[in-house]
Structure 1
């Protein structure tokens, strides 16, 4: 029987995109729940893995989206029973927030486009090991993870945003970037940003052009992350015992 990954989609505009094909090719079934459309978020123990996607909401928009607390509860339960979990952008912010970190409005302009991350302390990390000292990724966010949960291990940072990827415990990851996004989907997001901030048209257009030009590199690294997550869910990739330590933890 193929393991099933629960995919929590907080926004109709932010789906699995390229991750869908990569995960299905890796022998995973996917169950997508859409709390914005009235779907209940099921318990963490019913699935082999969990992915929480991004969205246009803020991690603290509970008055507008009261179902955000059900996602935090899912994350807390998954952390306790060690269900492999990946939070992406808003999902990563919810991982931090649910487990005792802090999410705030970003400093300065939004981080949009292709961004180079510096990888830190990843030698024994099941997702990020051997990806090199740097990783090129797609970014599209306004809020920031200002403080990681206690005991979390920082895995990636950038010039503007310190907390780009982190792990809590053995099998709970949060990333600020979008490893799932294709250039076509990214262009739709930027079109929305351009409509909301027409004075930033030049910067946003340049961000799209840069991302499209570097997408082959971005896609390569993103595919590795997707397949490694699938291997963890499938039990093909053992999470190193050293990953249970908090050496190198940042707060």
Structure 2
């Protein structure tokens, strides 16, 4: 069976990495993949982008970078992703930064979320288009781990909204027959989410947000994780 390509676009907070590992490891654990099932390209460090059609699926991670910074590696990756979507070379799923990068590459607009930062375990709702979607079919509401300041403020032409939250109307988008983006983090465990809240505690308090309350609300998000597993399973079985 062909491997899954993980495009890693950054690295986590040092204190989170010490306890939980880094982005690629989270995706492998959450999706039920072994190290032999995956090829990782650190695009933020200049790793070359392989041909997408060599893989059963492509996953794009989050990042501490901002899409609006227009870094060279990021713009190059956005172009690669857009070409992969347009040619349907492989099923793609972008998460957080990866979600935004897909939208940017396809002509959407990414910017600072006008509703402000979203962080913590939050309740999301699906949109009407989710009914016929192979990933979201049968899901009405679900909890998910979130942490972001930028968002897809204008989706690319033809994109379908699949899920939304009170602070972000574009929590999940379908960009094409084989391409999805999640602003939320299906690869996060509750422990990783708590690590981010603790790591950002001073900043959150300065923004008038109570980190202690966010930690009390923090908990498992199995439905969100099941969306990642479903994407990987359907991709590897050739059903999407």
TM-score w.r.t. length of structure 2 = 0.87
Q: Which consecutive residues of structure 1, in runs of 5 or more, have no partner in the other structure?
A: 240-251
Q: Give the SS at the match of 1:123.
A: helix
Deviations 1:153-178 (A, max 9, x none): 11011122111101012110011101
Corresponding residue number in structure 1 for 2:57: 49
Corresponding residue number in structure 1 for 2:237: 235
Do the aligned residues in 2 keep the contact of 1:123 with 1:130 (CA within 8 Å)? yes
Count of aligned pairs between the two proteins:
229
The CA deviation at 1:7 is: 0.5
Match of 1:80 among 86, 97, 100: 86
The CA deviation at 1:3 is: 2.1
Corresponding residue number in structure 2 for 1:184: 191
- Equivalent residues in 2 for 1:1-251, closer than 5 Å: 2-13=1-12, 15-25=23-33, 29-62=37-70, 65-82=71-88, 83-120=90-127, 121-131=129-139, 133-200=140-207, 203-212=210-219, 215=220, 218=221, 220-235=222-237, 238-239=239-240
- CA RMSD, Structure 1 to Structure 2 (Å): 2.2
Do the aligned residues in 2 keep the contact of 1:9 with 1:53 (CA within 8 Å)? yes
Do the aligned residues in 2 keep the contact of 1:96 with 1:103 (CA within 8 Å)? yes
* 1:130–1:194 distance in 2 versus 1, CA, 3 Å: same
Q: Which consecutive residues of structure 2, in runs of 5 or more, have no partner in the other structure?
A: 13-21
Separation of aligned partners in 1, 2:202 and 2:64: 14
The CA deviation at 1:189 is: 2.2
Q: Give the SS at the match of 2:223.
A: helix
The CA deviation at 1:37 is: 2.7
Which has the higher mean CA deviation after the structures are superposed, 22-31 or 105-114? Answer: 22-31
The CA deviation at 1:6 is: 0.8
